[in-house]
Amino acid sequence: MNRKALSAPYLFWITAFIVIPLGMVLYYGLTDKTGAFTLENIIAIATAEHSKALWIAIKFSLESTVICLLLAYPLAMILAGMQISQHSFIVFIFILPMWMNFLLRTLAWQTLLEKSGVINNILGFLHLPALNIINTPAAIILGMVYNFLPFMVLPIYNSLTKIDPNVINAARDLGANSVQTFARITLPLSLPGVISGITMVFVPALTTFVISTLLGGSKILLIGNVIEQEFTQAGNWHLGSGLSIVLMLFILINMILTAIFDKDGEGNAL
């Protein structure tokens, strides 16, 4: 069996459907309608409208990444400490919601968040002030946290379960208290998972156009919305590609940072 010949179909596939298409984004982004080289589509990011959309997207995605991290880390620690024999069960519980359509799940938050919705009814029952966040930035961030939280939990959980319990025991044995053990041993050892989680939340949050459309009431435009409109409505592929290149630069920076921190790819989520 010549194993090398077996790589042909896959080589063809990644060339045709990954490498060449990315090349085309670069080509369109760096040319104008006549096909001449230009940087205009890239520089277009500096216009007030575009830079605002980019800025909001960065702000929202950073905020939702931080919230995800704060929610996910304690959760992952609790789950890792539960000694569940079935590692797959945890994964299963976080993957399961994906079988309910992502758009419907996100839309359901509208129902939950509405003025006379479920949440406000419960808050009213508890004599707490009502929440009026529908169609606001807060709703978009909530949607991001909701959709991407599993991508933060799973890598952190994975990296925590990989830590040899004897390493923790050794730290305790050497006199570290639980806070010191966490700060000096657990946290540094779980860092690859954290970094991987950050990437897996930050990139989709930065580039989404769906969550802002569904929960932001079409009033708040993220960079993703701008690019989507250039392709599906305005039909200016050159500008859309140019803005995509700018977006990819951010993803690239993120990936490089990840590669620096997570050399072995240990934090891979699933």
Partner 1 sequence: MIKSSVRKLYIALIFIFLYAPIVTLMVLSFNASRSRAKWGGFTLKWYRELFQNEVILAALSNTLLIALLSSLIATLIGTIACISMQAMKRRTRAVMMGVTNIPMLNAEIVTGISLMLLFITLGMKFGFLTILLAHITFNIPYVILSVMPRFKQLNPSTYEAALDLGASPLRAFFMVVFPDILPGVVSGFLMAFTMSLDDFIITHFTKGPGIDTLSTKIYSEVKKGIKPEMYALSAIIFTAVLVLLFLVNYIPKENKEKKEK
Q: Is 132 in the site for partner 1 (CB under 8 A)?
A: no
Q: Closest distance between partner 1 and the C-beta of residue 185, in Å? A: 16
Q: How far apart, in whole angstroms, are the C-alpha atoms of residue 138 and residue 64?
A: 10
Q: Please list every residue from 72 through 131 that binds partner 1, using CB under 8 A.
A: 74-75, 78-79, 81, 88-89, 92-112, 114, 116-118
Q: Please list every residue from 62 through 81 that binds partner 1, using CB under 8 A.
A: 71, 74-75, 78-79, 81
For residue 95, what are the CA distances in angstroms to 57, 61, 196? 26, 22, 17
Q: Contact at 8 Å (CB) between 230 and 114?
A: no
Measured over the CA atoms of residue 268, residue 244, residue 256 and residue 59, the dihedral's sign is negative
Chain centroid to CA 174: 38
Tally Cβ neighbours within 10 Å of residue 183. Answer: 12
Using the rule CB under 8 A, which residue among 41, 64, 161, 244 binds partner 1? Answer: 244
Q: Is 55 in the site for partner 1 (CB under 8 A)?
A: no
Piece of 36-44, 62-70, 155-163, 242-250 that binds partner 1 (CB under 8 A): 242-250
CA distance between the termini of the chain: 31
Q: Closest distance between partner 1 and the C-beta of residue 60, in Å? A: 15
Q: Between 190 and 204, whose beta carbon lies closer to partner 1?
A: 204
Q: Between 220 and 227, whose beta carbon lies closer to partner 1?
A: 227
- Burial of 270: CB neighbours in 10 Å, binned 0-12, 13-18, 19+: exposed
Using the rule CB under 8 A, which residue among 193, 204, 216, 267 binds partner 1? Answer: 204
Using the rule CB under 8 A, which residue among 19, 70, 249, 253 binds partner 1? Answer: 19
Q: Closest distance between partner 1 and the C-beta of residue 142, in Å? A: 9
Q: How far apart, in whole angstroms, are the C-alpha atoms of residue 137 and residue 192?
A: 30
Site string for partner 1, 144-173 (x = CB under 8 A): --x--xx-----------------------
